[in-house]
Each structure stands twice: as C-alpha cells, then as structure tokens.
Homo-oligomer: A and B are copies of this chain.
Amino acid sequence: MDERINLAEKLGLLEAPYRPGIVGYLNDYKLVVVKVHGAFVWHKHDDTDDFFLVLRGHLTIKLRDRNVELDEGELFVVPRGVEHCPEADEEAHVLLIEPRGTRNTGDVGGELTAEEREI
C-alpha cells in the first residue's frame, strides 16, 4: 500500500452499499471507502470522532437534533459520542477516516457490522 490510491478505482471494487474497504493507513488510522445507499443504523463512537468526506453524490448525516447535508467535496466530522445515522437516497461514495479497529456500527453492532478488510 505504498503507492498512490485512486479512490474511484477502489470504490469500483466494492460489491454493495455498506461493505467498506480499507485503502490505506495514516499512522493508527484506517482510510476507508464505502458506498452508501439507503439508511444505515443509528450509532455512536464513544472513543473517537468520525470523518466523512463525500466523493460522489449526496449524503445526509442524520443527528438527533438536525441533519447535515453533504455534497461532493464536502466533509463533516461527527464528534465522539454523538449519535448519527448516514443515509443516501441515491448511491453516494464516501471516504471515512477512523482509528484502526473502529467498528462501523459503533456501539450498536448488528447485521450491518462489517469485518475490516483491505481492498
């Protein structure tokens, strides 16, 4: 993983929404691409902030008190401990950055929980 990473190419390797793939690392952080389509699950990460950058499409990050609407080239950092639920009416492509070992479904787990895997 010591060469350039083309994010669109990596996203083309993903089979389905909410099946994230690790494309690289920054110190103890993983760089992850994911397709978002439909609603994810409400969850939070008590130990870390959560970085979202929209690469394609439109992403809504639902918070308990408001929605954050992100278009391509826009990012949002969900503060640690804040419940959120990503959602996209049409498929959106997103770059996530989180500490290695961070579970995609945070404190709730469940059927959308994904194994960490490199692509």
Q: Which residues of A contact B (CB under 8 A)?
A: 1-8, 24-27, 29, 31, 48-49, 51, 53, 55, 68-70, 73-77, 79-80, 95, 97, 99
Q: How far is the CB of A29 from chain B (nearest CB, A)?
A: 8
Q: How far is the CB of A81 from chain B (nearest CB, A)?
A: 12
* Oligomer copy total: 2
Query: In the assembly, what is the distance between CA of A5 and CA of B7, in Å?
Result: 20
- Residues on B with C-beta less than 8 A from A97 are 26, 97
- Residues on B with C-beta less than 8 A from A1 are 77
The DSSP consensus for interface residues of chain A is: strand
- Cβ–Cβ contact A74 & B7, under 8 A: yes
22 A-B interface contacts by CB (under 8 A): A1-B77, A2-B79, A3-B76, A4-B70, A4-B76, A5-B74, A5-B75, A6-B73, A6-B74, A8-B73, A25-B49, A26-B49, A26-B51, A26-B97, A27-B48, A27-B49, A29-B29, A31-B75, A31-B77, A53-B95, A55-B73, A97-B97
